[in-house]
């Protein structure tokens, strides 16, 4: 069971976004000092690294000081998981698996404190979309995921540990399978009649395109939330125009909530007091707001698997505008999240093709192609899987010719094959990597 102190902390976490920015920073720095001292005393990787650099926990006062540490990645945890785990054995720890969208799943150890904080952080997001819910009662929420996913594992834990949640939040939460086709899930959803639908961006896109094309409704629906993989901008607009407001949730099993979209819809507010975020360029130096950078996170709470200066594999852009958000939260804003688990394609001459470039190409085919997956097999060999809208099935040849022409414009002379399929290849966790390269590793 959670102690009253932990419950008090959850309440405190909920209020932090509305504090003045300098107080949020103060809270961040307090957590940084705490986790650095802990990492130095109990976690082999940090103890070794600090010693080899002649550093002490006291040398880490501001978040910028984390740059003194090397950047770590998923591969480091997979190679030597025990290096990042606290050696002070506590029975309060809990294992959660990442979904392994880019290969092997990784196991992350969550400390009890982090498990509790994660509720408060999730509540920040729920508070943001609560304002558009039409009823004050506990809303019916449909989550499209699968049994055994990270979120499902956490749900089981919370249900058991916090009985109050069992009769409130969990009372009206229902799980739907991401591996069922949209037409099946629509029938089940219609019966459940949810106010909130939450799922991966790619599945939300598929479901709502199907619903919109067939003029289907869900009368009680107020909010759609999505996380993980990308939701196409055009699909998002369809949902907003025909159904309800859409809110993005930026989270990962390594960090819990990193950011969340507020009711002003200006991007994602970053919960920097608990998960510090830095955007770096190719030279590993920080980029300015408005510029693209790779996202490096530091989980300032978790004392299970301790991850500081950790490469998530995402690329983002911070908001340039230094003005207050209409929602009164003072957390900084990530304006866009560009390449979640997608690869960047490199041509033989070193030209970098950004996933966003492909968004614009496929945008032209938005009515015909519902979803796609592009694989770079070799420098001049590409395979594209397309899920075609029923209405355009008789125009397959034209679409194939047109799309090959558009793609060759960017790839140059190359072998491009289009496969029209009924289901796109998904990872074990149900995600779709839209752009996948079999030759280049992340060179960014
Ligand atoms: Zn806001």
Sheet holding 173-177, edge to edge: 173-177, 141-145, 196-200, 223-227, 245-252, 256-261, 268-270, 333-337, 310-318, 292-299, 275-280
**86-130 confidence digits (pLDDT tens):** 887 666 678 887 765 555 678 899 988 898 899 999 999 999 999
In this structure, the answer to whether residues 322 and 397 fall within a common structural domain is: no
Span from the CA of 268 to the centroid of ligand 1 (angstroms): 8
Q: Is residue 442 part of a domain?
A: no
Span from the CA of 266 to the centroid of ligand 1 (angstroms): 7
Span from the CA of 208 to the centroid of ligand 1 (angstroms): 26
Q: Is residue 296 part of a domain?
A: yes
**398-422 confidence digits (pLDDT tens):** 999 999 999 999 999 999 999 999 8
Average the pLDDT over 69-73 and give the result. 94
In this structure, the answer to whether residues 93 and 210 fall within a common structural domain is: yes
Span from the CA of 172 to the centroid of ligand 1 (angstroms): 27
Which carries the bigger pLDDT value, residue 37 or residue 361?
37
Binned at pLDDT 50, 70 and 90, residue 429 comes out as: low
- Is 338's pLDDT higher than 80? no
Which range (18-32, 97-111, 173-187, 317-331) has the least confidence? 97-111
In this structure, the answer to whether residues 27 and 119 fall within a common structural domain is: yes
The whole-number pLDDT of residue 422 equals 87
- Using DSSP's 3-state secondary structure scheme, residue 96 falls into strand
The whole-number pLDDT of residue 397 equals 93
In this structure, the answer to whether residues 352 and 410 fall within a common structural domain is: yes
Q: Is residue 165 part of a domain?
A: yes
Radius of gyration of the chain (CA): 22
Q: Is residue 148 part of a domain?
A: yes
Which carries the bigger pLDDT value, residue 19 or residue 151?
19
In this structure, the answer to whether residues 244 and 390 fall within a common structural domain is: no
Q: Is residue 443 part of a domain?
A: no
Span from the CA of 261 to the centroid of ligand 1 (angstroms): 7
Residue finishing a domain among 337, 362, 395:
337
Span from the CA of 413 to the centroid of ligand 1 (angstroms): 46
The whole-number pLDDT of residue 165 equals 80
| Cα–Cα distance, 4 to 10 (Å, whole number) | 10
Span from the CA of 395 to the centroid of ligand 1 (angstroms): 44
Q: Is residue 298 part of a domain?
A: yes
**223-281 confidence digits (pLDDT tens):** 999 987 778 888 899 999 999 999 999 998 899 999 999 999 999 999 999 999 999 98
CATH code at position 173:
3.40.50.12780
Span from the CA of 331 to the centroid of ligand 1 (angstroms): 8
Span from the CA of 122 to the centroid of ligand 1 (angstroms): 16
The whole-number pLDDT of residue 142 equals 97
Q: Find the domain containing 423 and state its range.
A: 345-437
Span from the CA of 28 to the centroid of ligand 1 (angstroms): 19
Maximum alpha-carbon separation in the chain: 68
Binned at pLDDT 50, 70 and 90, residue 149 comes out as: confident
In this structure, the answer to whether residues 256 and 382 fall within a common structural domain is: no
In this structure, the answer to whether residues 307 and 351 fall within a common structural domain is: no
In this structure, the answer to whether residues 299 and 424 fall within a common structural domain is: no
Q: Is residue 297 part of a domain?
A: yes
**104-116 confidence digits (pLDDT tens):** 678 899 988 898 8
The whole-number pLDDT of residue 442 equals 40
Looking at the chain, the whole-number percentage of residues with pLDDT higher than 70 is 93
Residue finishing a domain among 291, 314, 337:
337
In this structure, the answer to whether residues 330 and 365 fall within a common structural domain is: no
Looking at the chain, the whole-number percentage of residues with pLDDT higher than 90 is 54
In this structure, the answer to whether residues 282 and 415 fall within a common structural domain is: no
Which carries the bigger pLDDT value, residue 336 or residue 226?
226
In this structure, the answer to whether residues 282 and 356 fall within a common structural domain is: no
Which carries the bigger pLDDT value, residue 302 or residue 171?
302
**195-223 confidence digits (pLDDT tens):** 999 998 888 988 999 999 899 999 999 99
Span from the CA of 334 to the centroid of ligand 1 (angstroms): 11
* Residues in the 5 Å CB sphere of ion ligand 1: 262, 264, 325, 327, 329
Binned at pLDDT 50, 70 and 90, residue 170 comes out as: confident
> Is the sign of the CA dihedral 149, 150, 151, 154 positive or negative?
positive
DSSP class of residue 308? S
- For the chain, the domain total comes to 2
In this structure, the answer to whether residues 333 and 352 fall within a common structural domain is: no
Span from the CA of 324 to the centroid of ligand 1 (angstroms): 8
| Cα–Cα distance, 69 to 309 (Å, whole number) | 7
Q: Region of 430 please: left (phi>0), alpha (psi -120 to 50) or beta.
A: left
Residue finishing a domain among 314, 337, 360:
337
Span from the CA of 35 to the centroid of ligand 1 (angstroms): 28
3-class SS string, 9-73: HHHHHHHHHHCCHHHHHHHHHHHHHHHHHHHHHHCHHHHHHHHHCCCCHHHCCCHHHHHHCCCEC
- Is 340's pLDDT higher than 70? no
CATH code at position 360:
3.30.300.30
- Using DSSP's 3-state secondary structure scheme, residue 428 falls into coil
Span from the CA of 12 to the centroid of ligand 1 (angstroms): 19
Q: Is residue 444 part of a domain?
A: no
């Amino acid at each position: 069971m959670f102690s009253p102190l932990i419950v008090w902390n959850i309440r405190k976490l909920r209020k932090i976004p509305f504090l003045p920015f300098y107080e949020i920073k103060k809270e961040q720095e307090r957590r940084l000092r705490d986790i650095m001292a802990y990492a130095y005393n109990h976690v082999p990787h940090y103890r070794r690294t600090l010693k080899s650099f002649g550093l002490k926990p006291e040398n880490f006062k501001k978040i910028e000081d984390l740059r003194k540490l090397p950047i770590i990645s998923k591969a480091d945890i997979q190679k030597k998981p025990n290096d990042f785990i606290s050696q002070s054995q506590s029975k309060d720890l809990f294992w959660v698996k990442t979904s392994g969208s880019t290969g092997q799943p990784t196991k992350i150890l969550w400390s009890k404190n982090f498990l509790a904080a994660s509720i408060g952080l999730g509540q920040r997001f729920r508070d943001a979309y609560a304002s558009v819910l039409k009823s004050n009662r506990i809303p019916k929420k449909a989550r499209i995921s699968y049994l055994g996913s990270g979120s499902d594992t956490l749900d089981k834990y919370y249900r058991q540990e916090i009985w109050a949640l069992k009769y409130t939040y969990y009372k009206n939460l229902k799980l739907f399978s991401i591996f069922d086709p949209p037409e099946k899930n629509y029938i089940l959803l219609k019966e459940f009649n949810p106010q909130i639908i939450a799922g991966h961006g790619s599945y939300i896109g598929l479901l709502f395109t199907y619903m919109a094309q067939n003029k289907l409704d869900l009368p009680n629906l107020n909010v759609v939330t999505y996380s993980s993989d990308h939701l196409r901008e055009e699909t998002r607009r369809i949902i907003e125009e025909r159904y309800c407001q859409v809110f993005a949730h930026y989270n990962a099993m390594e960090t819990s909530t990193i950011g969340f979209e507020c009711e002003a819809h200006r991007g994602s507010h970053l919960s920097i007091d608990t998960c510090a975020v830095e955007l770096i360029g190719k030279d590993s130096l920080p980029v300015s707001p408005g510029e693209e950078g790779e996202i490096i996170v530091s989980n300032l709470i978790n004392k299970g698997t301790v991850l500081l200066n950790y490469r998530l594999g995402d690329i983002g852009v911070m908001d340039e505008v230094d003005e207050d958000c209409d929602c009164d939260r003072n957390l900084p804003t990530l304006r866009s999240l560009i390449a979640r688990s997608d690869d960047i394609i490199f041509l033989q001459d070193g030209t970098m093709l950004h996933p966003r470039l492909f968004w614009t190409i496929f945008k032209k085919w938005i009515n015909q192609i519902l979803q796609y997956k592009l694989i770079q097999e070799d420098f001049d060999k590409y395979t594209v899987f397309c899920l075609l809208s029923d209405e355009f099935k008789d125009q397959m040849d034209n679409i194939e010719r047109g799309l090959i022409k558009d793609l060759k414009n960017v790839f140059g002379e190359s072998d491009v094959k289009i496969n029209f399929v009924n289901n796109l290849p998904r990872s074990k966790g149900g995600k779709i990597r839209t752009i996948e390269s079999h030759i280049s590793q992340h060179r960014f």
